[in-house]
Amino acid sequence: MSLLEVRNLRVHFLVAHRVSDRRRAVVKAVDDVSFTVAPGETLGLVGESGCGKTTLARAIIRLIEPTAGQVLFGGEDLGRLSQRDLRRRRRRLQMIFQDPYSSLDPRMTVEQIIGEALDIHRLARHGDARRKRVADLLDAVGLAGEHLRRYPHEFSGGQRQRLGIARALAVEPELIVCDEPVSALDVSVQAQIINLLQDLQQTHGIAYLFIAHDLAVVEHLSRRVMVMYLGKLVELAAANEVIQTPKHPYTRALISAVPVVDPDSKRQRIILPGDVPSPIQPPSGCPFHPRCPLAEARCRVEPPALREVSPGHFAACHLAQ
């Protein structure tokens, strides 16, 4: 059975079209997204800014209330839970954020930051047991026990991200939603955090929903990868299939746009024209058609459904084979 199942999730926001305009427009930040995550699996999610990946992450753990659809965690619909029950469930469902500077309270010590997670879920009652547990967690993420009384500003970006991971880890979750956990870090430090996440998955059997805009990082970590464009899933398949035989023209362009280190690489570059359209006025039909090199007449009118093009390989494109 899957650990997490997202069914037809939608998150719509009402926004003022213009400052002077009283009419309201709807932004479909997440539009009919469905997928599953198995226990201990890493599912990667890539997409450009504004495609809805962070909104999706927040809607899953109900930091944002979804407009429609269901999020089943261990078979239980999170959307039907009371705030109190939801808080209890969140012990099994944690999140790591992108910015290690703004996601830690600057006025709390490391012991307080990580201990707070333990207090909320009543995992360590006595002072000594609590301190021991926090020290063990620091050790698990590669920090020393002597850091207990330090404040976040005394740590580098990579160390702060380790603190964020220790905080998520404190309550022994089954799934961690990682929202761009390495993109704010220096290149030489990114690999440390990626390796740490992999090690923790092996020792604790945690599943990840790993969100990033860097396709190479996502492919490296994930068993399966999904690609979002303008609020919709456009492709979902095993990681190596997405990279080597992408079926959606957007995925193909995304892969070709990643600068590669290899100076002898003779791959063809697909440069997409134009920008990502405004989600306030998404194009008709297939949302990708204005930038798509293969677009046909029906792409302009008929929105493509996400269909299984080959076993386990889903793509939302009329032309995918």
By CB under 8 A, name the binding residues for other proteins.
48-49, 156-159, 186-192, 194-195, 198, 213-217, 219-220, 240, 243-246, 252-265, 267, 269, 271-272, 274-276
Is the alpha carbon torsion for 269, 272, 275, 278 positive or negative? negative
- Taking the complex as a whole, how short is the minimal distance between the CB of residue 143 and other proteins, in angstroms? 12
- Taking the complex as a whole, how short is the minimal distance between the CB of residue 35 and other proteins, in angstroms? 22
- Taking the complex as a whole, how short is the minimal distance between the CB of residue 219 and other proteins, in angstroms? 6
- Taking the complex as a whole, how short is the minimal distance between the CB of residue 257 and other proteins, in angstroms? 4
- Taking the complex as a whole, how short is the minimal distance between the CB of residue 201 and other proteins, in angstroms? 12
Rank residues 259 and 311 by Cβ distance to other proteins and give the closer one.
Answer: 259
Q: Are 36 and 4 in contact (CB under 8 A)?
A: yes
In Å, how far are 36, 104, 141, 314 from 151, measured between CA atoms?
38, 9, 17, 46
- The three-class DSSP label of residue 27 is strand
Beta-sheet strands, E only, within 38-169: 42-46, 68-73, 76-77, 93-96
Rank residues 75 and 259 by Cβ distance to other proteins and give the closer one.
Answer: 259
Closest C-alpha among 67, 88, 70 to residue 79: 70
Helix (H) / strand (E) containing 240:
helix 239-244
Closest C-alpha among 145, 153, 38 to residue 101: 153
Rank residues 170 and 200 by Cβ distance to other proteins and give the closer one.
Answer: 200
Rank residues 6 and 239 by Cβ distance to other proteins and give the closer one.
Answer: 239
Rank residues 108 and 189 by Cβ distance to other proteins and give the closer one.
Answer: 189
- Taking the complex as a whole, how short is the minimal distance between the CB of residue 271 and other proteins, in angstroms? 5
Rank residues 40 and 157 by Cβ distance to other proteins and give the closer one.
Answer: 157
- How many whole angstroms separate alpha carbon 49 and alpha carbon 234? 15
